[in-house]
Structures are given as structure tokens and as C-alpha cells.
Structure 1
Amino acid sequence: MLQLPVSSLVSLRFCSFKLTRKPGRPCDEEGTVLPYGAPPPPPSSGSQNDWTPYQDRVAFELAELLYKKEQMSAGNIDALLQLWSASLLAHGDSPPFRNHNDLYDTIDDTVVGSVSWSCFSLAYDGPRPSGATPSWMSDKHTIYYRDPRALAVNMLGNPGFKSEIMFGPTRQFGHDGRRILRDFMGGDWAWKQADLIAELPDAQDSSFIPIVLGSDKTTVSVATGQNEYYPVYLSIGNVCNSVRRAHRDAVTLVAFLACPKSNKKHANSADFRKFRRQLFHSSLSRILRSLRSEMTEPVIVRCGDGHFRKIFFGLGPYIADYPEQALVASVVQGWCPICTAPNKDLDGEDANRRPRSITDYMVREFELGALWEDYGIVGDVVPFTNDFPRADIHELVAPDILHQLIKGIFKDHLVTWVEKYLTRTFGDAKAAEVVTEIDRRIAVVPPFSKLRHFHEGRGFKQWTGDDSKALMKASRLEYRPGLCTD
């Protein structure tokens, strides 16, 4: 895969050309590369009599009848199974389930969908105060997750992706020689990772599968009593962006992280803040550990086109808004997770990128206070990426398009800046009058195809991503002199 010269694979397509590193060649189940043009092996058909975890078809249909259709109470289930058992004693046989607990346990073992959910718990194990112990130090924090390796393999094996998935990095150029950046595998990062993997044993004719992660803590208030949820999402970088945007199972939920809570007395304590950070990183490291060994040793999987291929996994971009980026990269709020530039001097001469090697060196050599104040590094929390090969969190952090570009730049920056400018320039009364006129002009924009109509302008409280994108289109009004004059 990865040792072929760049110039050796050039294909012309519609007056453009694409440089492609030799993608993972199809092989058999033992890893032997197949000749070019060889058809894929026939799919393996599962047994039609496999009703696992149920004994047989009768047990499955009985469980469906009692639990789903009739929704029978536990007491009645026990009574029914006891009568059934009594009728079978003469024949030395027994019913499909012993009691309602056996029925419920079997239902819980049923795999729903492609990958079942599991859980583990983490707890604080550091020093405790001599007096009263805060509740968060004694609580067990449960994390629910699905095996990320199984999810990634299922995406690779999805037949719907077979013509929209890339098994090697590419560089595409237009007819004018300018670079075309369209899909993730067409970027420089994937190309560099392929160079690193090429140095590993058994890397010949293999493919690189980057794992793309994203998270965003949210609060659900409807019928839940303001519960916090911390979902983590997973995708693979090989599928085309059009597939991911079309919601065709190329992005899936991989975990729900724990949300530790404390009373107001301890909520802002240094120990609790450190525990929350480390709980986040330790949870992700535990969730992703099934991928670790296959980042340095290849594994053979079946892909959506029916062929087997030898692949290497790797951690890819982590998509998050800024507060989440600071947490993921273990940097202080207000500092950049990618470079060392202070927020008040972004173009400073001393600003450099934050490679993992330099950060690790500084953590070893500097005091925690100096790291925090002078370099914006949270030195007592280890990023989860340090547990995986070729993973540098400062390279993997990716912007959240919704929060940082669409809502961040347009609503939180541009709209807010305009409102503050009007207030500072004309005063509250005149600024309100100007904003009202802006809303009126937005409201009278004539209807047009794919243009949303805002009947009351932009004066709504909760902006969604669709609201922001639609308002960007409606706000492209021709400047009219006199709008902001006395």
C-alpha cells in the first residue's frame, strides 16, 4: 500500500487527475493477495436455525408473545411457566424459561442491531480529605459504550458504501493543476499517516482506517428533569463526505460518558475539576482499547465489495466545539489547542505548534503552575491519545462546523458585534430602532426557491444550525445609505 512512488499511479478523469497511493489490495482470509480482477469469495450464509440466545424458535416466539405483545406481569409469567413445567414432568422435559428472571435475562442478552451495548464503572482513587468526603469521591461513574472496532468493521462491510469508500489516501487535482479537497482521505494528514504505517511490519498491500470521533455534552429537559447526556460519535475517514452528510449509517453513537456531579461547595474545587478531566480521558482510553493492538498489527476484514483486505486502524480527527477542544487537548480555557499563541497575541513571534513530543517534554521539566500560566497546559491530566500509537491530540483536534463556523462566526460573533456596535455608536434607543428596521427588511424578503422566510426577522431566542444557515441567505441584503444615520 504505502511504498509505491506517488507518480506511479496517475489517472485522468474529466480533465482532472488524481494521485492515489496503492490502496489495500483484496486478499483471501489468510492474507494472501489475490490477482488483479479476481472475484470476491461467495458470502458466508448463517444457519437459519440459529436463535441465539434463545433455545429455539419456540422460545423466541414465546418471549415475544409474553414480553412484547401481551406485556404480561412477572407474577403471571411465573404462574404460566410453573403450569407448563408441571405438564412436562411426565415427559422429563422443561419449558423454555425457568421463571420471569430467566426470560428477562435472555431478552437482555439479545443483540439489538449490529453491536450490543456494554458498560463499565470508574471511581476516584486519589487522596481523600481528613473531614467529610465529597460525594463525587465515593460515587461510581458508569460509562455505556459499544465496541468501536466492531462498529468500524461493520461500516467497512456495509455493501451500500462499496462504491463510495476509499482504501488509500488520494490527492486530486483539477485541470488547472489546483488541488481539490473534497474527502477526508484526500487531505495531507492521511497521506502522512500512510507513510508512517508503511514502516510497520506486514504493511505491504494494507489499508489505513482512521477512526473519526466527536462529542458534545447536552442537556435534555423534555420529560427528563434537566438530565445531562454526554454522547460520543464515531465514523471512519474512508467513506466519502457525501455518504456521511446523507445520514447513511456512516456516523454512529459509540458511547455515553459519565457526567460527575458535586454540590456547589466543591463544584469549583481544583480536585473536582481535575477528576472530571481525567475521567473523560480515562473513559475514552478504555472505550477505544479494542483498537490499540490493530494500530500496529494488521487485521483482515471483509469489506462492502465482498473482498477481504488487510487493514491498520488509527485515531483520526476529534470533532468538538472550543470548550470540548480545550478538554480533549488538556489545555487551559482561552489557549489554542493547536499552537502556543496567547489569545491576546495570536500573531506573536513566539507562537509555535504544539506537537505531542514538546508537550510531553514540558510536562516532565516544568512545574504545574508555570505550565498553566505561561503555556496554557494542564500538566496533571494525561490525554487519552497518549495511550495509542501515532496519535497526537494537537494534530487531531478539528473544528465543530456548527458551533464554531455557522453559529460561532455568524451569530455569536458577527450578529453580536453588529448589535454592540450599534449600541455604542447610537445609544440604546436608536440601536433598537435600527435593529427593528433590519428585522423588517429580513421579514419582507420575497419568497424564493430554497430561501426560508423569517416573518419576524431574526428576533428568536434559540438559534439552530438550520436557522443560522437560512438567515445567512436572507441577510444578504443590498446596502442602503441612511440605515444608520440620525
Structure 2
Amino acid sequence: MKYTPEKLFQNADGTGPIFDEMWTGEWWWERQNTLPSGATIAPVILSSDKTQLSRFSGDKQAWPVYLSIGNIAKTIRRQPSKHATILIGYIPVTKLECFTRKTRSVEGYHVFHECMRSILEPLVAAGKSGIEMTCTDGGVRWVHPIVAAYVADHPEQCLVSGCQENFCPKCCAHSSELGDPVYSVMKDQTVIWDAIKEAADGVDTVELKSLGLRLIDPFWRELPHCDIFSCITLDLLHQLHKGIFKDHTVAWATACAEGGADEVDRRFKAMPSHPRTEHKHMEKVFLGILCGASDPAAVRAVRSVLNFIYYAHFHTHSDDSLACLEHAWAAFHANKDVFVRLGIRQHFNIPKLNSALHYLLSIRKLGTMDGYNTEHSEWLHIDFAKRGYSASNKREYIKQMMLWLSRQEAVHRFQTYLDWTEPTSDLPSPAGTQDASCDNPLDDEMDEGHQDGQQALLRALSIISESSLPSYILPKSPSLPGTTVGQLIRDFGCTDFIRALQDYLRKGSCSRTLPHAAQNLHPGSRFAAYKRMYLHLPPIQQLSHEVVKDVIRAIPMQPACRLVRASPAHFDTVLVRISGAEDSQSADSLDGK
């Protein structure tokens, strides 16, 4: 838990700001300066997303609203099992058939804002005057809960801001000006509310139409210290992966490729398959698919989009990385005319393309975007919507879902209490089983107090868990036991297996005599062959602090057998870095890491 904002820098002289968690952003500092001395901010993070409950058939839906706070680290908030994000209500899902088709959309806006106003009503008084709270560290603070971020996809962003879906929910750009890389003025909450009031009084509707606003009473006008247009965060899942890449870039690049969709499909099939087929994994190979089959300007435009997507996913940003992010999007606009020249597009007035201009400012204000991805809401739907619906009899299911969730929360609280009173985890003691000469990460810090000891324990457990991960994992039993060298050559293509294995054994024996079986390798020698192995790769610091688990597959061709169809061979390409390799002979060694 963090109770105060922080500033991180790359250099010791205080230059090169770093943006990571919410407490490293500018928003917290700005709000802290407007509150009395000694006040503590609890940045409220809201998210809402309509989800489908019925499977295969039916139209049963739920519209949950979630809440978390920016005092908690984003790595904790992203884990549903940590219960750092809670469900605070369901918005009614109704077809509004009592209204005409012309007014049905506006009435849907009214329903949403009235429900959100009712749900968030306790935050109005608490945000203005503050409330005394006992925090997790035992300290008593005067806390001001202030809405700082709202996580939603584009339709719900427009619903929150009260504008039409062909407009930008954050800036004042007109719907006909979204295709240019021009930074527009951000919407001002006071100005927008004044325009809505004037239109409601029949004074003037020009500004209402120019901004694409709906005639509503927004829920956010009463929230203290809140600027809803700055609170709306950018969405990596729907705006980048499913929007800019899948819906637009892939379609445009496919249309301008020689041979069209058939040629792109053929090239996809020629690429090594990936265990997953999500669009963010397609991004890894899509640029290679286009090379040689598309206009060079189109390839440059696609490369710029992919660069922007990867920069936007950084877990930590600096001025340099933000400059690269901005340069990547400028490069896309410099090459996008190829799609107009080839007759694929006539304009680029697309709200999701315009949203890319707001990433830089949003990261500076609220921290990196990995803490506000709607992908987290999709995971929350499983616990807070789908499982409860499955446990109901499908009649008045919302009431049954709330009852089921309240019981699940009661069980969780009681289990947490039992775990606290009688801990059962097998944690290593400071003495442990380690040798006395080994450094124990707990020894130096456990004596500095109970709170410091807890923090030291958590750090030590992370060190232990990381160091305990093996560099590779094999299945418990080989898939192809007793495989001869001849079969390895024929089915796996291991033409130099005997020579490479002999060299490896000689170098690893340290001049000791090898066993008799290792000295007489021949085509009839048998080995245990595995079809898969898993590698633990070091984390990429800019993208994640977690170890990357990758799979290597070596699956020979399987002939048809009775009712089972034949399956082709699959061999992943592996790039091995040989440590200390100085000549070509060492490159054949199996000792590379």
C-alpha cells in the first residue's frame, strides 16, 4: 500500500522521470496539492463492462461495476485471487422497448448515469471532506477517496463521457477530424456541463452538436476533485489488439497484399504455429508475412503500428520510451496514405485511431497502461458474473448471483481469518536447512520490527521462488522411450547426433573415462525422446517482472491409424546463444544456454 505520491528518476541528479505505478504519475501530485496538509488520497479506479452470461443461445447479460484503489500495486490488482478489486453493483440490462427507436439510445444513457450516480453517492461527501480510516499499517489517516481512473472499452467510454460513439470521449476533436495527428484540447468538465445545461434550457445547441454530446445529467458532475475526461484510461485490449490491429491494420494490409487474403493465409500456414492464436500473438509474425508481398509503404505503416503497440505495453516508461511511442505513431501517419492511394480507405476518421494520441499524456498522468487494461475485467467476469449465473436456476438470476457472491465472500473472509489465526504455510525459517555460511535474505531484516520483517519475508519469498525455478522442465516420462539413433535421424532430422553427443560428453567429462555405453555409440543405440520441453526465460524488464515460460516442440509426423487422421511434423526453431564460443566447432556443442 502506498499513501503518498512518489517521483522516480533514472539519474541520481533527479533527471529522467520514470512512470510506473499510479503514485508515480502527475495526477496524484496535482490532487495532493489541492487538499489540506496531512490529507491522504485513495485514488478510486472504476471499471464497468457488459458481459454475456448465456452460452450458445439466449441473451442473458450482466453489467457489473468494479472498484479498486490506486494505493495497491497494479501487479496485485491484476490478480482476481487477491481480491484487490471488488464488485460494487450491477447496472440493469434492458432493451428499453417502451421507448421509440429514435429515443432508445438516449434513454440508455439516462439509465446508466442514474445508476452510477446512485452507486457512487457515498464518494461525494467522503471525497469533499474526507473520512477517518484505520489503514493496513495500523496508522489512522484522513482519507479522501477521489475517482482517478475509469477503465472501459470505447462504447462505454462514450457512455461515461456522454458523447456519441463516432466522437472521441476525451478531447474536443470533431468526428471529421479524427484522422489527423493533431492534438486537440482535452474536454473540460465544467464547460461540458454548462453546454448541456444551456441546451437543456433551449439556449444554444451548437456546442452540443459540435462535441457530439448527449442531453443527459452526468453522474460525474457532483464528484469532488474529479475530471472524468482525464480519468478515462486507454484500453490495450479493445483499442489496440482488437481495434487498431485486428479490425483495421490487418484488414488494410491484407487488401493491399499481392494475392489478397488467400496469399496472407498461405503465409500464415507457412509460419511456425504458436500454442495460442490470439491477435497479440499474431502481431509477432504479421510483419514477416507482409514482407515481399505488399507495398513497402504499407509494410512501414504496419511496422509503425506494431511498434506503437509494443511501446504502449511497457510496464515502466521514461521520457525516451515515450518519445519512441510518439515517434512510432507519427511514422504511421507518414505512411498511411498508401491505403488511400490503393483505394482501400478514403479517410481515417476512426475514434480508436485518434485515441492513440492520448497515450502519452495518460501515462504521464496515471502511470503505465498495463494497470488499466480491460483484459482484467474479463477475468473478473468469471468470478463475479459467470460462475454466479451458472449456480442459479436462470430465473431472476441477478438476485441469485448476489446471494451466491455474498456467501462466497463470507466463506473467503472466514477462511482468511482461519489462515491468520492458525497459519499452515510451510515457509522456510530463518535458520532453515541452509548451510550456516550461506546468506539468508531474512537474517538482515527480520530484527528491524514486525512490519519490516513482514516486508523482508515477502521479498525473501520472491527471491526463493525465482531462484527455485529450473532453467528447463521435461515431462516425468518420455513420450518416445527406446528411440534408436536411426529413428532420431529419420524422424527428427538429427543427422549429426552421434558426433555432437560424443563431443558434449568429452567436454563434460573433464578428462574422466566415459562409461562403456557412451564410448560405443552406433545407429542401434537407444535413447529416450521427448516431444516437448519448457524453458524459463528471464523477464523483459520493460514489459514484465515475471519469468517467461516458453515451450519447445519436436513432434514427428504421425501416420494415420484407423479413425485417427495423420498429423504433420512440428519442429520449433530454437536460437541458442553459445557462451564463450570462439570457433565454429564450439557452435555444435549442446552446452549453450
TM-score bracket, shorter-length normalisation: 0.5 to 0.7
AA in 2 matched with 1:174: Q
- Structure 1 equivalent of residue 528 of structure 2: none
Written as runs of structure 1 = structure 2, the 5 A alignment for 1:274-353 is 274-346=106-178, 347=180, 351-353=184-186
- Residue 210 (structure 2) aligns with: 374
Cα-to-partner distance string for 1:71-123 (whole Å, 9 max, x where unaligned): xxxxxxxxxxxxxxxxxxxxxxxxxxxxxxxxxxxxxxxxxxxxxxxxxxxxx
Deviation at 1:322, TM superposition (A): 1.0
1:267 to partner: Cα distance = 5.4
Q: Which residue of 2 aligns with 1:438?
A: 267
Q: Which amino acid aligns with 2:24?
A: G
Shift of 1:231: 1.1
Which of 15, 20, 35 is the equivalent residue of 1:182? 20
1:406 Cα deviation from its structure 2 partner = 2.5
Change (3 A) 1:304 1:420: same
Counterparts of 1:182 and 1:387, CA distance in 2: 30
**What CA distance in whole angstroms lies between the structure 2 residues aligned with 1:332 and 1:253?**
27
Contiguous gaps of at least 5 residues in structure 2: 297-593
Q: Which moved more, 1:273-282 or 1:168-177?
A: 168-177
Per-residue CA distance 1:287-343 (angstroms, 9 max, x = gap): 111222111223222222222222111111111111111110011221112111113
Secondary structure of the 1:341 match is: coil
Corresponding residue SS for 1:377:
coil
Taking the aligned partners of 2:177 and 2:30, their CA distance within structure 1 comes to 30
Of 340-349 and 350-359, the range deviating more from structure 2? 340-349
Q: How far off its partner does 1:382 sit? A: 1.5
Contact residue 256 and residue 294 of structure 2 kept, 8 A: no
**Distance change in 2, residues 1:218/1:349 (3 Å):** closer
Q: Residues of 2 paired with 1:475 and 1:439: CA distance? A: 8
Matched, 1:269 2:107: no
Separation in 2, partners of 1:253, 1:283: 14
Q: 1:182: how far off?
A: 0.6
Comparing 473-482 with 214-223, which one deviates more in the overlay? 473-482
1:52 corresponding residue in structure 2? none
Q: Is the CA contact 2:253–2:294 (under 8 Å) kept in the aligned structure 1?
A: no
Structure 1 window deviating more from structure 2 (314-323 vs 172-181): it is: 172-181
Code of the residue aligned with 2:189 in structure 1: it is R
Q: Distance in 1 between matches of 2:35 and 2:267?
A: 55
Which of 180, 193, 196 aligns to 1:360? It is 193
How far 1:376 moved relative to its partner?
Answer: 1.4
Identity over the aligned pairs, expressed in percent? 26
> CA separation in 2, counterparts of 1:192 and 1:365?
30
- Deviation of 1:365 after TM superposition, in Å, equals 3.7
Q: 2:31 aligns with which of 165, 182, 193?
A: 193
- 8 Å CA contact 2:154–2:239 kept in 1: the answer is yes
User: What displacement does 1:348 show?
Assistant: 8.9
Paired position in structure 1 for 2:255: 420
User: Is 2:67 the counterpart of 1:256?
Assistant: no
Mapped partners of 1:240, 1:484: distance in 2: 44
C-alpha deviation, 1:482, in angstroms = 5.3
**Aligned partners of 2:96 and 2:50: how far apart in 1?**
17
Select 2:66's aligned residue among 228, 233, 249: 233
Indicate if the aligned counterparts of 1:383 and 1:393 stay in contact, CA closer than 8 A: no
Preserved contact between residue 298 and residue 312 of structure 1 (Cα < 8 Å) = yes
How far apart, in 1, do the equivalents of 2:184 and 2:59 lie? Answer: 41
Please state if 1:453 is matched with 2:288: no
Distance 1:267 1:172, change over 3 A: farther
Distance 1:413 1:223 in 2: 28
Output the TM-score relative to the length of structure 2.
Answer: 0.45
1:406 match: 241
Higher helix share: 2
The answer (yes or no) to whether the contact 1:209–1:238 under 8 Å persists in 2 is yes
The letter of the residue matching 2:90 is F
Amino acid at match of 2:269: R
Tell me the residue number matched to 2:288: 477
TM-score by length of 1: 0.55
> Structure 1 pair 479/335, CA: closer, same or farther in 2 (3 Å)?
closer
Deviation at 1:433, TM superposition (A): 2.6
Shift of residue 240 of structure 1? 1.3
Residues 195 and 208 in structure 2, CA contact (< 8 A), matched pair in contact too: no
